[in-house]
Chain A
Amino acid sequence: MIKLTTNHGVIALELNAEKAPKTVANFLAYVEAGHYDNTVFHRVIKNFMIQGGGFEPNMNQKPCQAPIENEAANGLKNKRGSIAMARTNDPHSATAQFFINTVDNDFLDFKSPSGQGWGYCVFGEVVEGMDVVDKIRAVATGNKGFHQDVPKEDVIIEKAEIV
């Protein structure tokens, strides 16, 4: 289990190494390296998802390891409470940033192994602390630099650890 200690409370995650082995190994490597400590949820959209794991509180982007293969075809769904990898337009470009779905987002699921159809790889789910996720999704947001939907007051992951 993964424990994310945030300044809004603790979120506990169960990862699915059977369905998303590469994605889980990648996420665990970042946790073990301390990458997520003192990062923020920098993109919060109430009825969509909360995204984090890539920026420090001052919106400095942290350096990442090599991108990973997209395992979105594993059958796991982007339903409320699931955790998935963020990425660029390139389907196989996920590095450290992840998001927790705050509603069912079927349109993010894998459809076909091409362009838009790849979807976003779910690799686990929130097992405790969904109330904390709901608190975070409700914070006030605005623009910061070139980023939109950034919480006005930092939502910080103080520590990410394997428990």
Chain B
Amino acid sequence: MILFISDLHLSPRSPGATALFLRFLAGRARQAQALYILGDLFEAWVGDDDIDDPYHARIVAALRAAADAGVQISLLHGNRDFLLGQGFAAAAGIRLLPDPYDLALPEWSFVLSHGDALCLDDTAYQAFRARVRTPEWQARMLARPRFLRRLVARWMRWRSRARQQAMNNPPYADLQGAATDDFLRDHGYVTFIHGHTHQPAKHDHIVDGIHVERWVLADWHEDRGECLVWDGAALQREAIVAENRP
């Protein structure tokens, strides 16, 4: 059994989603052989030296515990946490994957992505993305002191929110149709799983006469998360909710 999640946007300001994820790692996830996190695990990541932050340390320890229990955990970068590096991966016992990533299982093949690279209609974001994904930009950024990087991250989030509000846009532009068809063709018409748009759905594409499924993962909220489960035969959504107890 394989699980896919994305868009948890974890931060100290989301204690509910954080608790859901920690319980997920200690419980549900342990029943899977592998867990794929398709981007935006964190609301922000300013560099792997932030592992020592107590909040991050808890998440890293929980990932490490699940990995030590035999769950292979893999992570793709999102548009929020693209600075997650090998230091984080080593501490958490996970592996970083390139985006897109071709996942060929014995019984079925998938292509995994965060999804932001295909939102080509958002030209301002694509220009930003092209700039910050270069090794030069990242090296320059990581060379700055941490307090400055935190300020920059906060300013970026603020600017992104302000821009969305000013444009009266839905929070995320959707994937561009033609580019998505090209993408599916390039990856051999396999099932496409991605996040980013916060619009969970299953889309059916016909590319060159071939039916291709595209599954969009759900974003996590304070009282509810979701994972997509591959049981070897089919994909199925599963809700992650807080347990009520005395």
Contact = CB atoms under 8 A, between A and B. Distances in A.
Kindly state the interface size class of chain A when it binds its partner: 20 to 34
Interface string B91-103: 0000000000000
A86 B241 contact: no
Contacts of A54: 244
Interface in B187-246: 239, 241-246
Interface residues of B, number: 12
Contact of B239 (A61, A87, A90, A99): A61
A93 B19 CA distance: 13
Contacts of B85: none
A89 interface: yes
B13 to A, nearest CB: 15
Given A89-B19, A146-B28, A94 B244 contact: yes
Q: Which of B19, B239, B241, B246 has the most CB of A within 10 A?
A: B246
B27 A86 contact: no
Interface string B19-35: 10000000110010000
B242 A88 contact: yes
B27 A146 contact: yes
A105 B246 CA distance: 10
Interface of A: 43, 48-49, 51, 54, 61, 78, 84, 86-90, 93-95, 97, 99, 105, 108, 120, 146
14 contacts: A51-B244, A51-B245, A51-B246, A61-B241, A78-B246, A86-B244, A86-B245, A86-B246, A93-B244, A95-B244, A97-B244, A105-B246, A120-B246, A146-B28
Given A48-B246, A61-B241, A95-B244, 19 more contacts: A43-B245, A49-B246, A51-B244, A54-B244, A78-B246, A86-B244, A86-B246, A87-B244, A87-B245, A88-B19, A88-B243, A88-B244, A88-B245, A89-B242, A93-B242, A93-B244, A94-B244, A99-B246, A146-B28
